[in-house]
Amino acid sequence: MKGLYAIVDVGTLSARRLDPLAFAEAVLSAGPAALQLRAKDLHARETLGLLRALVPMCRRAGVVLVANDRPDLAVLAGCACVHVGQEDMPIDRVRRLAPGVGVGVSTHTLDQLDAALAARPEYVAFGPVFETRTKRDPGPVVGLARLQEAHSRAAAAGVPLVAIGGITRERAPRLVGAADAIAIVAELLPAVALADKRASPVFDVMGEVAARARALHEAFAG
């Protein structure tokens, strides 16, 4: 996993009156490494419906689709991967419930990272590297030096590392060599929400989303 790890956060998009599927399609046009659906406040049936719609879109684009938190929904929808946090289901249990589905895990300390690496996940996420406002109750900022140490440990274990937290297009080049991929939420969002009277038609807004995704990919992966 290398490059842009794009996160479609339904709650954030809803506040801006942006359709998650149209948003995902725009992001996929940039060829990210992975696309995660984060739908913390949706009912399971609604989340499953979105995942099932995203599966063929991601397959056509050759992009890994990641379900957040829910291995059961990942299996039902046919997702390639599921992402869990430190307070979610342990990796070994996820694998029992969702055999054949890859597992990624968030880590915030080097001890958590080492424990995750021992379980041989599909990838590990580490952060927040910078201050972030798009995650509920984010952990303390880890900074670049600790990210580099985490990347060295992950590389030695043969597991890709995704940097998370507060990453912008301007900051992305600083992470080259310190992570294999960068997880992005807010920086993908258009400057003007559809609820704003100044907003352009939907296709222009999504064009901006696609341009932001390409710029982030190029800033990090070249």
Q: Say which CATH number the domain at 59 has.
A: 3.20.20.70
Provide mean pLDDT across the span 150-179.
97
- For the segment 199-214, what is each residue's pLDDT rounded down to a tens digit? 555 558 899 999 999 9
Alpha-carbon gap, residue 154 to 162, rounded angstroms: 10
Single pTM value for the model: 0.92
pLDDT at 193: 57
User: What is the residue range of 205's domain?
Assistant: 3-221
Question: Which amino acid type is present at position 21?
Answer: L
Q: With helix as H, strand as E and coil as C, how does the chain read? A: CCEEEEEEEHHHHHHCCCCHHHHHHHHHCCCCCEEEEECCCCCHHHHHHHHHHHHHHHHHHCCEEEEECCHHHHHHHCCCEEEECCCCCCHHHHHHHCCCCEEEEEECCHHHHHHHHHCCCCEEEECCCCCCCCCCCCCCCCHHHHHHHHHHHHHHHCCCEEECCCCCCCCHHHHECCECEEEECHHHCCCCCCCCCCCCCHHHHHHHHHHHHHHHHHHHHC
How far CA 95 is from CA of 22, 39, 100, 105, in Å, comes to: 31, 21, 8, 12
pLDDT at 51: 98
Domain count, the chain: 1
State the average pLDDT for the chain.
Answer: 92
Alpha-carbon gap, residue 83 to 7, rounded angstroms: 11
Provide mean pLDDT across the span 17-28.
96
Looking at mean pLDDT, say which of 87-91, 117-121, 203-207, 215-219 comes out highest: 117-121
Written as six digits, the tokens of 203 are 């296709």
